[in-house]
Amino acid sequence: MFLNHLVVEAGHRRGAASPRVERNTANALARLRWRLGEAGNDTSRLRALGRSRACLFYCDGVVRRADLRGGAAMTLGWGSAATVPLGTVLSVDARAIADICAFYDRVGDDVIRLALAPTQHAEGPPSRIGTAAPGARPRVAAC
């Protein structure tokens, strides 16, 4: 969630803020890069981490959803993009945590680079963090 806030703020700083609140970090970062004409290849891994997180948090670690509708496997968000079949119980070891941390460290550095890159705008629009619509509820990923 914190990375998502950084992406939103980078967009505001560069005058390339999304017209709507995007809760999916992979989509928010891809849109920001598109608006700024920047290349990036983190989207699929961020989505895989999101699916892995959903399995761990909402399904007791059991893989119940494939990457694609009708598929039989899900890509993990760590390691060398390994896939696991439906029904697998995920486990996260120290190596996986270190790999995820290194990935987020690199993505965070890239978001800071995007935010601090020279811009034509003297000042971006004000921050929208904390201004969700009244009564808005966060969406929960289904398993």
**First vs last Cα of the chain: how many Å apart?**
19
Greater confidence, 122 or 76? 76
Band the pLDDT of 139: cuts 50, 70, 90: very low
Averaged over 7-12, what is the pLDDT? 89
The structural domains of the chain, with segments of one domain joined by +, span 2-116
Cα gap 28→139, rounded to integer Å: 15
Task: Judge whether 6 and 108 are in contact, CB under 8 Å.
Answer: yes
Is pLDDT above 80 for 94? Answer: yes
Written as six digits, the tokens of 135 are 């009564």
Predicted TM-score (pTM) of the model is 0.75
Distances (CA, A) of 84 to 16, 59, 64, 87, 90: 37, 15, 11, 9, 9
